Amino acid sequence: MKNIIWGLVVVVALVGGFFAFNAYIYQEKQGDVSPALDYKNATYVIDGRVVPLIDGLAEQEAVPGAASKIVTRYFGNELNVDLDEDGREDVVFLVTQETGGSGVFFYAVAALNKETGYAGSEGYFLGDRIAPQTTNLSSDPNHKKVVVINYADHAPGESMSDAPSMGVSAYIKLDLETMQWGEVIQNFEGGANPEVMTLDMKTWGWESALYNDGTRIVPDQKNAFTLTFIDDDSFSATTDCNSMSGSYETEDDGKISFSQIAMTKKFCQNSQESDFAKILENTVLYHFTSKGELVFDLKFDSGSAIFR
C-alpha cells in the first residue's frame, strides 16, 4: 500500500513539474515577467531580446562570455495616455540601444500601468541615429489610441555622420494581448508634400520645443507666437509680449541662421518670449514634414522646435 501511495506522489510531482516547466518556457518565449512598480524598472522586449531596465538602463552581454555589451537606455519623449482604458495612465516613451558599433538605434515602447505594476511591451524600431521630436496621439477620430511619433531621419544617400534632414511620422498602435506594436497605414490624400513646401508659404505658429535633456516647452498662449518669412531674407514675429524682426539666411542643404534679431521692449510677467528667441538664435537646420510642419533643429543636436 505504501508503495502505491509513494508511486502516486511521484507521478503527481512529475506532472506538476512538467506543467511548471512548460509555463516557465512559455513565459520565457513571451518575455513575460512580473510587472514593476516603476516603468523605468520594467522589462521590455527589444529585437527578440528580453531587456530588464534598472533605473532606465540595461547592459547585457552581446553573446554569453563576450566583452562587448548591448546597452539599452531610457531616452524620453514620454506620452502619458490610458492605452487599455482601465482608468490608469500608461506611458509610451523612447529607448536607445547601442550594440558596440557606431549605431544608436531608437525604439518606441509602452508600459501598461496594471494593478500590480507596469508591464512592458515589445519595442517598435524607428531608426538609427534619428532626431526625435514629438510623441502624441493621432487627432484623427478614426484612429483610436494611435500613437504618432515625429522625428527626423536620414534621407536616402545621406551620410549617417550628417544631421538627419527628412521628416518622418510613425503611426503605431499597441496590441494589448500580444504587447506588440502595429503600424497604422495612413491615407495621405490631401496631405502636405514636404518637397513643395517653402518657408514663405504661410505664417507659422510655434507649437512646441523639445530638448535632449527631456525638457519640453509648449506656449501657454496658443497662437501668440508666430513667424513670417519675407522674400527679401527678412522675417517678422510675434510673441506673447512683444514683436520681433530680423534677417535670415538659408542654404540648399537645409541650413538656416537667424541674425540681427530685434524686438520691442514691453515687459510682460511670465512671458515665454525668451524661450522663443532662444530657439531662433540656436536654429541651424530646417525641414518640413508630411503633416505640414516646419521643424527647426537646434545646434549641437540639443533639440528641435515645431511650427505649424
* Model confidence pLDDT, tens digit, residues 86-128: 999 999 999 999 988 888 999 999 999 999 999 999 999 999 9
- 274 and 222 in one domain? yes
Cell of 98: 547601442
205 and 131 share a domain?
no
CATH number at residue 283: 2.40.128.270
Q: Is residue 188 part of a domain?
A: no
C-alpha distances (whole Å) from 41 to each of 52, 69, 72, 94, 119 are 7, 19, 12, 14, 10
In the chain, the number of structural domains is 2
- pLDDT for 248 equals 97
pLDDT at 11 (0 to 100): 38
The answer to whether residues 152 and 287 touch, using CB atoms and an 8 Å cutoff, is yes
Q: What is the pLDDT of residue 185?
A: 64
First-to-last alpha carbon distance for the chain, in angstroms, is 84
Question: What three-state secondary structure class fits 200?
Answer: helix
Same-domain status, 119 and 251: no
Q: Does residue 213 form part of some domain?
A: yes
Residue 160 pairs with which residues in a beta bridge? none
Phi, psi of 168 (to 5 degrees): -135, 145
47 and 173 together in one domain: yes
* 124 in the same domain as 208: no
Measured CA to CA in angstroms, residue 216 lies from 137, 275, 304 at distances of: 16, 11, 10
42-69 residues labelled b (16+ CB within 10 A) or e (exposed) = bbbbbeeebbebeebebeeeeeeeeeee
Residue 238 lies in a domain: yes
Q: How far apart are CA 194 and CA 288, in angstroms?
A: 5
DSSP state at residue 292: S
Same domain, 122 and 158: yes
pLDDT of res. 192: 63
Q: What is the pLDDT of residue 243?
A: 93
Looking at residue 87, what is its pLDDT? 93
Residue 34: the pLDDT is: 56
| Residue 228, in any domain of the structure | yes
Residue 17, in any domain of the structure: no
In whole angstroms, give the CA distance from residue 274 to residue 254. 25
Handedness of CA 24, 25, 27, 31 (dihedral sign): positive
Please list, in sequence order, all residues whose beta carbon lies within 8 angstroms of the beta carbon of residue 131, skipping any fewer than 6 positions away: 151, 152, 153, 163, 164, 297, 301, 304
Q: Are residues 159 and 272 in the same domain?
A: no
Which of the listed residues 183, 215, 239 is the one where a domain comes to its end? 183
- The full length of the chain comes to 308
Does one domain contain both 49 and 178?
A: yes
List the domain range (segments joined by +) for residue 251. Answer: 194-307
By the 8 A CB rule, do 44 and 120 touch? Answer: yes
Instruction: Give the position of cell 528580453.
Output: 50
Q: Is residue 7 within a helix (H) or strand (E), and if so which, with residue range?
A: helix 2-30
What phi, psi does 53 have (nearest 5°)? -80, 145
* CA pair distance 244, 94, nearest whole angstrom: 35
Same domain, 161 and 256: no
What's the Cα-to-Cα distance from 201 to each of 7, 183, 227, 245, rounded to whole Å?
85, 31, 11, 18
Residues 145 and 253 occupy one common structural domain: no
- Which of 152, 183, 214 delimits the end of a domain? 183
Residue 303 lies in a domain: yes
234 within some domain? yes
Residues 172 and 68 in one domain: yes
Instruction: Report yes or no: 135 and 79 within 8 Å, Cβ to Cβ.
Output: yes
Residues 67 and 120 in one domain: yes
- Within a domain: 23: no
Q: Would you write out the chain's pLDDT as a tens digit for each of its 308 residues? A: 444 444 433 333 443 443 343 433 334 444 444 567 899 999 999 988 999 999 999 999 887 777 788 999 999 999 999 999 999 999 999 999 998 888 899 999 999 999 999 999 999 999 999 999 999 998 777 678 899 999 999 888 788 888 888 888 889 999 998 999 988 765 543 356 787 788 988 889 999 999 988 899 999 987 899 999 997 899 999 999 999 999 999 998 899 999 999 999 899 999 999 999 999 999 999 999 888 899 999 998 899 999 98
* Phi/psi of residue 184, nearest 5 degrees: -95, 115
> Which of 126, 160, 183 is the C-terminal boundary of a domain?
183
